[in-house]
Chain A
């Protein structure tokens, strides 16, 4: 099976061709503003390296485009914010903890309506359907095309959100609705924030995926397109466009998954060293460990299932301060090949130090020959101390760990480190992110409350539902396996209520392709 994995980062677009599990080609191109140009350039380079792509089975793309849109406040659409939970929660309405500039761009109007549930599954208030209809008509009058619906305790009982979404679709033809229960757990403000961001990004997600498809067509590739997600799995493009926030952290996730694949390690701390930053993460069972705390995106609090990452300002382009003997966080970034000493520039960077120390052979070495040995040693020792400290912070228990060093700046990581048993580097580690995209599987998640069923029946039902969702998202049904399952009893609810969380993964179904199933994303399609 031939797959192309592409990682569209802020600076570089990396692409790899994987043929029956072997890396057959790996290239880097500069990312362009329209995204498509960078992909086209990468595909051209890949073709030059490993032949035409006519027989490719699938293309899998990871992108930081959506998270960058939030951070840079670009290409966001106005969203109707509907909160179900009045008369509670109204003192803290939607957008109340957003940075003002971002709220100004996204806030299309706020509707707070009676309804919602309590922690024990009891109804808090009956859903006020009259108010919902009035809101829907007002949304239509205002010409809003995107809505986010958040109901109190919807992770335990999503019925109010589903009901509101159905009414909106009836009253506002073509509206795109994001329901918060698809995006997060307990914490109404954080879950709502995720839903609002998601709704604001759907138009961009559609355009971006269209751009990906055009780039593939122009490159002569006729294969299904998949988009990578925060948890290291992919979804068929048609499915993924409805949930762009699920792709927020795909860059670091793909690097970790790619590193796991290239090294065959299932358990390791990963350091992904780029041009400006190093991301530290922790692989468990070959997947990134998930954070269980609040994650800020562009100043907005959310509770996404995101990989637990620590980012520090250390990379190949980091500036070295010769007086304070520090390295980073300032960086020359994508201007490395003009501004670093070895490339004829005037800035002393981490790359120059590595070349001077003989760790790396790029540019012109004689341009750094004058650097004093004490400076080289001091800068490397500083980088080492930074890495040691953060490896220790990311690991979950005392004792030595295996450190997997990936990314274009991995040369900054020494072979011997305190608290690290061994440092592993792999061939193609510089393109680990694109490899991670290329090898990704498809997942199906369920997090739902089941009633009047035995524990076994409830888990089986959740499993069946997760399987169904995975197939809808583009998985081959015959390859599905269970990777996560937990069940939590809920007190005070009639009929033995049980909250069940299940996750399955399977290989991509390259025959099905990106044609969406009609039931694809409930209440989320346009």
Chain B
């Protein structure tokens, strides 16, 4: 158990954006919210998942909704905390701790925001290890854990509990409907997990991983060193290509941002990156080079800052790196939920780290 410093939280925002693998929404608003809470004297502690007792209850939080709406409605730590309180009222027990469902992007900040108000620790773990667009794309779904209940909160005093869902897909559909009615944004507390479940199915130490990534980038920039090299060293990653963006194509279909970016190295080698909110597959000469569930990250070659699929554009100097996937997603069940076929690519997953 350790108290997070203000610097840790700054680094978390940088690292979480990298782990967003092109999506997940910017952590900027959550960071602003946390800065204010720290200025007011509130503090957050980080807890090792191994310190959880099997019978402990852990709250799992995230914001749901459209990034465009977040730009106007913003985030609010009191709403995140409220989603947890409503869950406590419903299940009739107090939570031992709170954790993230998604360490990639803006949702990395959510457990900290709840924890600051509720005075409980944040578990150093999540259920994606990155960002993914849908609720069933988690290790908890891979583990076939219960998808319900879920609480969904709107600031005008509307609170909804989804008490049962037949499958994770049904939970996604039902909770998405509620979210749309609220204005396409809601603070949610997902199905509570026991300490045993978190230890068995959670991805451990991803908060620390994001903080370390962010620190590697910030330290390298401060020392005028190569931030990409620092990231690769910190996370045993692999550099796919350094070059520039020569073509970008985007379309919005079924509520997702889909498209592709073409990158060219200085040696005139090209790779094509497909995305669906997040980067999904990297191609070279029509053959897959890397794919989900491994993390494809596109970074500004100078600053090491992540470049989102919404912001990528011609002429940017970028480096594409691949970071290892959590073990759970490499199982047949895991690949079924988040492998390339879950994103409509009829290819088998092959790790870039196996060769």
A129 at the interface (CB under 8 A from B): no
Other-chain contact of B246, A85, A97, A398 (Cβ < 8 Å): A398
Within 8 A of B (CB), among A380-439: 392-398
Q: Is the CB of A396 within 8 A of B71?
A: no
A87 at the interface (CB under 8 A from B): yes
Q: Is the CB of A152 within 8 A of B73?
A: yes
Other-chain contact of A89, B74, B77, B184, B246 (Cβ < 8 Å): B74
A119 to B182, CA, bound (A): 11
Q: Is the CB of B183 within 8 A of A124?
A: yes
B188 to chain A, nearest CB (A): 16
**Count of interface residues, chain B, beta-carbon cutoff 8 Å:** 26
Nearest residue in B to A393 (C-beta to C-beta)? B315
B156 to chain A, nearest CB (A): 6
B38 to chain A, nearest CB (A): 13
B241 to chain A, nearest CB (A): 16
Q: Which of B28-36, B221-229, B325-333, B345-353 contacts A (4 or more CB under 8 A)?
A: B28-36
Nearest residue in A to B311 (C-beta to C-beta)? A293
Other-chain contact of A97, B32, B68, B155 (Cβ < 8 Å): B32
**Count of interface residues, chain A, beta-carbon cutoff 8 Å:** 29
Given contacts A88-B76, A293-B311, contact A125 B32 (CB under 8 A): no
One digit per residue, 1 when the CB lies within 8 angstroms of any chain A CB and 0 when it does not, for chain B 53-80 equals 0000000000000101101111111100
Q: Is the CB of B72 within 8 A of A187?
A: yes
Given contacts A92-B29, A125-B156, contact A119 B72 (CB under 8 A): yes
Given contacts A187-B72, A293-B311, A395-B315, contact A91 B246 (CB under 8 A): no
Given contacts A96-B36, A119-B66, A152-B72, contact A397 B29 (CB under 8 A): no
A1 at the interface (CB under 8 A from B): no
Q: Is the CB of B315 within 8 A of A392?
A: yes
B96 at the interface (CB under 8 A from A): no
A186 at the interface (CB under 8 A from B): yes
Q: Is the CB of B183 within 8 A of A119?
A: yes
Q: Is the CB of B72 within 8 A of A153?
A: yes
Q: Is the CB of B72 within 8 A of A91?
A: no
Q: Is the CB of B33 within 8 A of A186?
A: no
A457 at the interface (CB under 8 A from B): no
Which one of B66, B77, B184, B314 has the greatest number of beta carbons of chain A within 10 Å?
Answer: B314
A417 to B42, CA, bound (A): 56
Q: Is the CB of A119 within 8 A of B184?
A: yes
Return chain A residues, CB-CB under 8 Å to B317: 393
A131 at the interface (CB under 8 A from B): no
Return chain A residues, CB-CB under 8 Å to B29: 92, 189
Q: Is the CB of A90 within 8 A of B76?
A: yes
A118 at the interface (CB under 8 A from B): yes
Nearest residue in B to A154 (C-beta to C-beta)? B72
Q: Is the CB of A394 within 8 A of B315?
A: yes
Nearest residue in B to A153 (C-beta to C-beta)? B72
A199 to B36, CA, bound (A): 25
Within 8 A of A (CB), among B75-123: 75-78
A403 to chain B, nearest CB (A): 15
Other-chain contact of B74, A92, A393, A395 (Cβ < 8 Å): A92
Return chain B residues, CB-CB under 8 Å to A203: none
B65 to chain A, nearest CB (A): 10
A97 to B71, CA, bound (A): 14
Which one of B66, B244, B315 has the greatest number of beta carbons of chain A within 10 Å?
Answer: B315
Which one of A92, A124, A125, A398 has the greatest number of beta carbons of chain B within 10 Å?
Answer: A92
A128 to chain B, nearest CB (A): 13
A427 to B259, CA, bound (A): 45
A470 at the interface (CB under 8 A from B): no
Nearest residue in A to B75 (C-beta to C-beta)? A91
A188 at the interface (CB under 8 A from B): yes
Return chain A residues, CB-CB under 8 Å to B314: 395-397
A90 to B75, CA, bound (A): 9
Return chain B residues, CB-CB under 8 Å to A397: 314
Nearest residue in B to A96 (C-beta to C-beta)? B32
Return chain A residues, CB-CB under 8 Å to B155: 87-88
Closest 4 CB pairs of A and B: A91-B76, A118-B183, A87-B155, A187-B71
Which B positions have Cβ atoms within 8 angstroms of A? 29, 32-33, 36, 66, 68-69, 71-78, 155-156, 183-184, 244, 246, 311, 314-317
Q: Can you list 5 contacts pairing A with B, beta carbon distance less than 8 Å?
A: A91-B33, A92-B75, A96-B32, A187-B71, A394-B315
